Structure 1
Amino acid sequence: MSSAIDFDQLVQAVGDAIVISDAQGAITLWNPAAERMFGFTRAEALGNSLDLIIPERQRQRHWDGYQKTMDTGITRYGNDVLRVPAVHKDGRTLSIAFTVALLHTADNKVAAIVAVIRDETSRFVEERSLRKRLAELEAKLASSNQPA
């Protein structure tokens, strides 16, 4: 028994954002999870630059890495998770984690990059709060252990 997978249905149903951008960085796929995560509708995102969701201070670094991946066809983020800030439509900062996959042309040139993205903002905020609390407790302990 053969079961064909409806990949469009998969992309629409999955809980993580799936964003595909072409060789120039224009968004060519934006699933419902991306809409929920970033606040931009599919119509607002398609055809626009990834700058839509990249904080201004991160853009140069992003585009340098993007161009290197396009030129070399190599990315370490196929397996390694990349954690970076992103921007929601309303201007608030998000903390996202994602992996990427490269889509190739028939002659094996990179045609597009697929990013599978998860919003880790609440986890990031919680970890930062815990680190701050730990530092405060360590400082308190160190000061209470000082000889009088």
Structure 2
Amino acid sequence: MNETEIARALLATESDAIVASDREGLITFWNPGAERIFGYTAAEALGQSLDLIIPERQRARHWEGYRKVMETGESRYGRGDLLSVPSMRRDGSRLSIEFTIVSLKDEAGAMQGMAAVMRDVTARFEEMRALRRRLAGQAAVPG
């Protein structure tokens, strides 16, 4: 199997969302995993703003960081750091995602956009939150 075949298989995965956006934050790539996780088809997502999956409360912070990365070409998260953030599905329901980002640069090194590989970790996040509540409740009970 050559690199092109491997890349094609990875980009077509349904397990993880792979989303790319241009300098303005408009979606340029939306794989089957993104369709499964977020509920939008590629035809619906392509050309739309990343606001499609960013909850309104997180948008200002997201765009501040995004613009800074587009201007500087640097991100403190660009070395494989795993980020955890809230997101939202087409139906408006909330989900928790973990993701890594990759800067997309041209041959001269100028920023062209970003790509992210995202995983839905909502079930794990909810389990951890419930466990923390149980532990906090036990600590409050006199023993």
Q: Which TM-score bucket, shorter chain as reference?
A: over 0.9
Structure 1 position 32, deviation (Å): 0.2
Q: Which of structure 1's runs of 4+ aligned residues deviate more than 6 A?
A: none
1:70-96, Cα deviation, whole Å (9 max, x unpaired) = 111111222211100001001110000
In the alignment, structure 1 residue 5 sits paired with structure 2 residue 11: no
Report the secondary structure of 1:77's partner residue: coil
Structure 1 position 14, deviation (Å): 5.5
**TM-score scaled by length of structure 2:** 0.94
CA distance in 1: counterparts of 2:2 and 2:11, whole angstroms:
17
* Identity, % of aligned positions: 52
Q: 1:107 to 1:4 in 2, by over 3 A?
A: closer
In the alignment, residue 117 of structure 1 is paired with which amino acid? Answer: M
Report the secondary structure of 1:13's partner residue: coil
Trace 1:63-142 onto structure 2 (pairs within 5 A): 63-78=63-78, 79-140=80-141
CA distance in 2: counterparts of 1:69 and 1:63, whole angstroms:
10
**Larger deviation, residues 35-44 vs 12-21:** 12-21
Number of residue equivalences: 141
Structure 2 residues not aligned, in runs of 5+: none
Structure 1 position 15, deviation (Å): 1.9
Q: Name which one, 1 or 2, has greater alpha-carbon Rg.
A: 1
Trace 1:34-49 onto structure 2 (pairs within 5 A): 34-49=34-49
CA distance in 2: counterparts of 1:133 and 1:4, whole angstroms:
48
**TM-score scaled by length of structure 1:** 0.91
Structure 1 residues not aligned, in runs of 5+: none
1:83-127, Cα deviation, whole Å (9 max, x unpaired) = 000010011100000000011012211101010000000000000
